């Protein structure tokens, strides 16, 4: 079956008593049992039955099962945010004295999680240029717990060579953990490219209409410790499982993901092409443009489409603020892959807490605007941008 079908037709874990066609929302903290033995079996994991919604809930399980069917994963865990998924995945592999090999081109909170929070627990983070495979090889040592990366970095739009990096990680027997938020798993197989664990902010493409926060850990079973620690330790002790209501909204989002993604990525490509001829726009960065340095690698890994995130560079920071302030249709908002087109100046917002030199090291520039292209008519999006840059140098 094709993914568009699987996203819609994956069955509920147990048939609903009333045959509800939408996934029922089991808004309950606890579950009643018939006998003491049933209760003991559920609590000790001998049967798969929910006992408490901090660790298992039928509505969340439906989302997890659908993602499992779509990705071919061994285990899928849904969390209350993308950051919860990332922190649980990393907590499953690190220990005091271990290190994480990654890049400085990472989502801002992931940078802070590794270099502040995990650093405080005695876990070191090595920020390497992941395009330099020798540097990656040299950075991995006997204490390295994982190689961690984002498949298309935000906002630099750098694309990692997943197969090459997976090979390096596997030579050293460490997992490759990839944040695949920006290209959905309905479009490409991270597993086929050698990724061991995928982490996704399902707040983005999956929720679709900015309805809810969520995160997924998609585990391909190659490092069994990840499943053991998340399932039997972190779900219980950290307590950041997804809520049933969020899972309901994200299941609805997942049903329409393939259709939305096709329109959004087509819009993004059409828009990127049009923006290249606007004189006030100094640079258009989109991995779907033929002259982009990552075009060929992105095609090879992710297929014919390139997602809905692109950046434009204007003359200076003042021009960026003027642009944002003059938008009439495009929303001034963070978030990605909403149905609505969104614009943000990452330098002064998402990366606001970082110093100027840190931002320079991360290649985050004050001339850059990030756009997340939505489902509106592309000519309307283009017209809004053209009127907002009018009068700029």
Ligand X SMILES: *Cc1c(COP(=O)(O)O)cnc(C)c1O
Residues at the site binding ligand X, with contacts judged by CB under 6 A: 81-83, 107, 150, 154, 179, 181-182, 201, 203-204, 213, 215, 336
Looking at the Cβ atoms of 210 and 281, the one nearer to ligand X is 210
Residue 231: strand, helix, or coil: helix
Looking at the Cβ atoms of 308 and 392, the one nearer to ligand X is 308
Looking at the Cβ atoms of 150 and 384, the one nearer to ligand X is 150
From the CB of 199, what's the least distance to ligand X, in Å?
8
Looking at the Cβ atoms of 154 and 341, the one nearer to ligand X is 154
Peptide bond into 155 cis (omega under 30): yes
Looking at the Cβ atoms of 154 and 265, the one nearer to ligand X is 154
Please give the residue whose beta carbon sits closest to ligand X in the complex. Answer: 82
Helix axes 244-275, 378-389, angle to 10 degrees: 60
From the CB of 91, what's the least distance to ligand X, in Å?
15
- From residue 335, alpha-carbon distances to 15, 122, 209, 212, 393 in Å are 35, 31, 10, 11, 28
| Residue with token string 């990096």 | 165
Q: Tokens representing 313?
A: 């560079």
Q: Tokens representing 171?
A: 């030579």
Q: Tokens representing 264?
A: 């959004």
Q: Tokens representing 22?
A: 């939408």
From the CB of 171, what's the least distance to ligand X, in Å?
27
From the CB of 359, what's the least distance to ligand X, in Å?
17
From the CB of 59, what's the least distance to ligand X, in Å?
18
Alpha-helical segments (H) within the chain: 3-9, 36-43, 58-71, 82-93, 108-112, 119-120, 133-139, 162-171, 224-229, 235-237, 244-275, 295-302, 317-326, 356-361, 378-389
From the CB of 155, what's the least distance to ligand X, in Å?
10
Looking at the Cβ atoms of 336 and 364, the one nearer to ligand X is 336
Task: Report DSSP state, residue 281.
Answer: -
Task: Tell me whether strands 215-219 and 75-79 are parallel, antiparallel or unpaired.
Answer: antiparallel
Looking at the Cβ atoms of 243 and 392, the one nearer to ligand X is 243
**In contact, 329 and 381? CB cutoff 8 Å:** yes
Looking at the Cβ atoms of 58 and 82, the one nearer to ligand X is 82
Q: What is the DSSP string of 41-65?
A: HHHTTSS---SBTTT--HHHHHHHH
From the CB of 111, what's the least distance to ligand X, in Å?
11
From the CB of 120, what's the least distance to ligand X, in Å?
20
């Amino acid at each position: 079956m094709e993914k568009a079908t699987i996203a819609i037709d994956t069955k509920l874990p147990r048939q609903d008593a009333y045959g509800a066609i939408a996934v029922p929302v089991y808004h309950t903290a606890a579950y009643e049992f018939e006998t003491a033995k049933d209760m003991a079996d559920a609590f000790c994991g001998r049967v798969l039955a929910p006992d408490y919604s901090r660790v298992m809930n039928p509505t969340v399980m439906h989302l997890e099962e659908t993602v499992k069917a779509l990705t071919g994963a061994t285990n899928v865990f849904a969390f209350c945010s993308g950051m919860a998924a990332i922190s649980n995945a990393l907590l499953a592999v690190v220990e005091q004295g271990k290190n994480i090999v990654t890049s400085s081109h990472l989502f801002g909170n992931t940078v802070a999680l590794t270099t502040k929070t995990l650093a405080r627990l005695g876990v070191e983070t090595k920020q390497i240029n992941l395009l330099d495979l020798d540097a990656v090889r040299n950075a991995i040592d006997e204490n390295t717990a994982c190689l961690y990366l984002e498949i298309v970095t935000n906002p630099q739009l750098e694309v990692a060579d997943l197969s090459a990096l997976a090979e390096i990680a596997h030579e050293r027997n460490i997992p490759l953990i990839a944040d695949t938020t920006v290209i959905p798993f309905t479009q490409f197989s991270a597993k086929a490219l050698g990724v061991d664990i995928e982490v996704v902010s399902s707040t983005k493409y999956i929720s679709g209409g900015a309805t809810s926060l969520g995160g997924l850990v998609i585990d391909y079973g190659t490092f069994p410790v990840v499943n053991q620690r998340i399932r039997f330790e972190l779900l219980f002790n950290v307590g950041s499982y997804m809520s049933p209501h969020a899972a309901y909204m994200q299941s609805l989002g997942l049903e329409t993901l393939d259709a939305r993604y096709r329109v959004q990525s087509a819009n993004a490509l059409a828009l990127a092409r049009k923006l290249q001829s606007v004189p006030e726009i100094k640079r258009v960065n989109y991995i779907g443009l033929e002259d982009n340095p990552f075009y060929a690698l992105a095609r090879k890994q992710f297929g014919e489409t390139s997602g809905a995130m692109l950046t434009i560079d204007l003359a200076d920071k003042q021009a960026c603020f003027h642009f944002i302030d003059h938008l009439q249709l495009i929303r001034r908002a963070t978030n990605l892959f909403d149905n609505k087109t969104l614009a943000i100046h990452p330098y002064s917002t998402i990366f606001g807490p970082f110093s100027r030199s840190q931002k320079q090291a991360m290649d985050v520039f004050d001339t850059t605007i990030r756009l997340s292209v939505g489902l509106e008519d592309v000519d309307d999006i283009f017209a809004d941008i053209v009127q907002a840059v009018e009068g700029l140098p």
